[in-house]
Amino acid sequence: MAEPSQRIAKFLIVFVVAVILIKSFTGSGFFEAKDHKGKGYYVKIPVGWTKIKKEKGVVFPQGVEFVQFIPKGVDPELVPPAATISIYSKKLTTPIWIEDEFPDIVNSLREAGYEVKDQGKIKMDDQISGWVVYYDQKANVLNLEFYIVSENNLFFKIQYSAEPDKFQDNRYSFEELRNSFKFRFSVF
C-alpha cells in the first residue's frame, strides 16, 4: 500500500495535468476575470469581451490609469477591433463639478472637428455624469463617452468606440459595463 505522501503527490500530478489539458482543449483562460477593479472604481467585464494589455510604446499623461476591453477572439495585433470599450481615470488636484465642465468638454470636441450627434446627463452610481455621442471622421468611428467625477475628486471617462455600421452591434455590451460601474474607496 502506498504511503499517504505518495498518494498526495500522485493526486497533485493528475490534477495539474487535468488543468493543463482542459486549458489547452478549450483554448481559453481557466481563471479568466469577470470583473475589473481600477483605482477608485469597479466594473463587470461584458460577456464575450476581454481586457487587453496596453500597447507597447503608448504613453499616457502622468497619473492617468487606462484599461481597454475588446470582443473575445480578436487579435488587435493582426486586425483592429471593430469596437472597443476604454476607461480612463485620474486623481484631480483641484475639485471640479462635471455639471460645470461638461459644456466645455463638448465644445472642445466640436472645436477639434468632431461631429457631435447627441449629448445629455445621466446618473451613474448616484453621481451625475455627462455623455456625448460624436463622429470621428479621421478614424471613421462613432464614440459614446461618459464623463464623471467622484466625491473623492477622481475623474473618469468611459468610452465606447465602434465603426458606424457596427455601433449598435456591441452597444448592449457597453451599456452592460456602464451599468455595472461602481465607485470604490481608493487612495491615489
Residue with cell 451613474: 124
Q: N- to C-terminal Cα distance for the chain? A: 58
Instruction: Write down the pLDDT at residue 39.
Output: 87
Q: How many CA atoms lie within 13 A of 102 on its CB side?
A: 19
SS3 152: coil
Q: Where are the domains of the chain?
A: 1-31, 32-183
Decide: 106 and 114 in contact? Cβ < 8 Å: no
Residues 6+ apart with CB under 8 A from 37: 184
Instruction: Write down the pLDDT at residue 158.
Output: 97
Tens digits of pLDDT across the chain (188 residues): 567 777 787 877 877 676 666 655 544 555 567 999 998 899 999 999 999 877 666 777 888 999 999 999 888 888 889 999 999 999 999 999 999 999 999 999 999 999 999 999 999 998 999 999 999 999 999 999 999 999 889 999 999 999 999 999 999 999 999 999 999 865 54
Q: Is the pTM of this model over 0.85?
A: no
Instruction: Write down the pLDDT at residue 6.
Output: 79
Give me the CATH topology for the region 32-183: Protein Transport Mog1p; Chain A (3.40.1000)
Exposure string (b/e) for 52-84, b if CB count within 10 Å is 16 or more?
Answer: beeeeeeeeeeeebebbbbbeebeeeeeebbbb
